[in-house]
Chain A
Amino acid sequence: MSKSHQKDSGGDNGFSRRSFLKGVGTGVISTAVLPGVVSAGKYAEKIQSPQEWVTSDAITLNVNGENRRVTVESRATLVSVLRNELNLTGTKNGCGTGECGACTVLIDGEPAYSCLTLAMDAVGRKIVTIEGLAENGQLSPVQQAFLEYDGYQCGYCTPGQIMAAEGLLAKNPNPSTEEIKRGMSGNLCRCAAYQHIFISVAEAAKKGGR
Chain B
Amino acid sequence: MKNFAFVRARSVKEAVLSLGTDWNEAAVMGGGTDLIGEMKNYVHTPNKVVNLRAVPDLKYIKQDGNLIKIGALTSIAAVETDTLIKSNFAALSKAASLVASPQLRNMGTIAGNICQRPRCWYYRDSGIECLRKGGRLCYAMVGENKYHAVLGGLGCYIVHPSDTAVSFTAFDAKIKIAHPDGEKEVNIEEFFVLPEDDLNRENILKPNEIVTEISVPIPENGTKSTFIKVQERGVWDFAVAGVAVSLKLDGNRCDKARIVLGAAAPIPWRSLDAEKELEGRTINEETAQRAADASVYNNMPMTGNAYKVQLFKNIVKRAILELV
Known contacts A36-B21, A113-B107; decide if A46 and B7 are in contact (CB<8 Å): no
B-chain residues with CB within 8 Å of residue A57 when the two chains form the complex:
6
**Contact status A54-B6, CB under 8 Å:** yes
B64 sits at the interface (CB 8 A): no
B9 to chain A, nearest CB (A): 9
Contact B102 A43 (CB under 8 A): no
Residues of A within 8 A of B36 (CB): 77, 116-118
Given A3-B59, A39-B180, A53-B5, CB of A99 within 8 Å of CB of B14: no
Partner of A116, one of B13, B17, B32, B77: B32
Q: Contact string, A108-122, partner B, CB cutoff 8 A, digits 1/0?
A: 001111001110110
* Residue pair B6, A118 in contact (C-beta under 8 Å): yes
The reply to whether A116 and B37 form a contact with Cβ atoms under 8 Å apart is: yes
Asked if residues A97 and B103 are in contact (CB atoms below 8 Å), the reply is no
- Whether the Cβ atoms of B54 and A101 lie closer than 8 Å is no
Most buried by A among B33, B49, B101, B180: B101
Shortest Cβ distance from B6 into A: residue: A74
Q: Which residue of A is nearest B7, CB measured?
A: A48
The 8 A CB mask of B38-73 against A (1 = contact, 0 = none) is: 011000000011010110100111000000000000
B246 contacts A by Cβ under 8 Å: no
Q: Are A43 and B14 in touch, CB under 8 angstroms?
A: yes
* Contacts A74-B5, A121-B53; A97 near B40 (Cβ below 8 A): yes
Residues of A within 8 A of B17 (CB): 34, 37, 40, 43, 47
Q: Which residue of A lies closest to B73 (CB)?
A: A6
Query: Does B10 touch A at the CB level, under 8 Å?
Result: yes
Verify B102–A98 contact, CB threshold 8 A.
no
Instruction: Answer whether A37 and B180 are a contact pair too, CB < 8 Å, given A75-B4, A75-B39, A185-B234.
Output: yes
**With contact pairs A74-B5, A186-B104 given, residues A121 and B40 touching in the complex (Cβ less than 8 Å):** no
User: How far apart are the CA atoms of A12 and B104 in the complex, in Å?
Assistant: 26
Q: Does A204 contact B (CB under 8 A)?
A: no
| Chain A, residue nearest B237 (CB) | A99
Cβ of A190 within 8 Å of any chain B Cβ, yes or no, is: no
Q: Which residues of A contact B14 (CB under 8 A)?
A: 43, 46-47
Interface size of A by Cβ–Cβ distance < 8 Å? 49
In residues 64-82 of chain A, which contact B (Cβ within 8 Å)? 73-75, 77
Nearest CB to that of B51 among chain A residues?
A121
Q: A74-B5, A185-B101 are in contact. Are A9 and B20 (CB under 8 A)?
A: no
Q: A116-B36, A116-B107 given as contacts; is B3 within 8 A of A6 (CB)?
A: no
Report the count of interface residues on B (CB-CB < 8 A): 49
Using Cβ atoms and an 8 Å threshold, which residues of chain B touch A96?
40
Kindly state whether residue A55 has any CB partner on chain B within 8 Å.
Answer: yes
| Minimal Cβ-Cβ distance residue in A for B36 | A116
Q: Does A10 contact B (CB under 8 A)?
A: yes
Residues from chain B with Cβ under 8 Å of A1 in the complex:
59-61, 74-75, 78, 82
Q: Are B103 and A112 in contact (CB under 8 A)?
A: yes
Contacts of B6 in A (CB 8 A): 54-55, 57, 74, 118, 120-121
A98 and B54 alpha carbons, distance in the complex (Å): 23
- Chain B contacts of A117 at CB under 8 A? 32, 36, 107
CB distance from B24 to the nearest CB of A (A): 14
In the complex, what's the smallest C-beta–C-beta distance from B44 to chain A, in angstroms? 13
B23 in the interface (beta carbon within 8 A): no
**A34 near B18: Cβ-Cβ < 8 Å:** yes
Q: Does B194 contact A (CB under 8 A)?
A: no
How near does chain B come to A159, taking the closest CB pair, in angstroms? 14
Please determine whether A37 and B3 come into contact, CB atoms closer than 8 angstroms. Answer: no
Q: Which residue of A lies closest to B1 (CB)?
A: A75
Partner of A39, one of B49, B51, B181, B236: B181
A83 contact set on B, CB distance < 8 A: none
> Is the C-beta of B271 less than 8 angstroms from some C-beta in chain A?
no
A35 to chain B, nearest CB (A): 8
B294 within 8 A of A: no
| Interface residues in chain A, defined as those with a beta carbon under 8 Å from any beta carbon in chain B | 1, 3, 5-6, 9-12, 15, 34-37, 39-40, 43, 46-48, 53-57, 73-75, 77, 96-99, 101, 104, 110-113, 116-118, 120-121, 164, 168, 182-183, 185-186
Where the two chains meet, the residues of B that have a C-beta atom closer than 8 Å to any C-beta of A are 1-8, 10-11, 13-14, 17-18, 20-21, 29, 32-33, 36-37, 39-40, 48-49, 51, 53-54, 56, 59-61, 74-75, 77-78, 82, 100-104, 106-107, 180-181, 234-236
Given contacts A15-B8, A117-B36, 16 further A-B contacts (CB under 8 A): A1-B61, A5-B53, A10-B10, A37-B180, A43-B13, A43-B14, A46-B11, A55-B5, A74-B4, A112-B107, A113-B103, A117-B107, A121-B6, A185-B235, A186-B100, A186-B236
The 8 residue pairs across chains A and B that have the minimum distance between CB atoms? A53-B5, A186-B101, A74-B6, A1-B78, A75-B1, A186-B103, A110-B106, A186-B102
Query: 10 A-B pairs, CB-CB below 8 angstroms?
Result: A34-B17, A35-B20, A39-B180, A48-B18, A54-B5, A57-B6, A74-B49, A116-B36, A116-B107, A186-B236
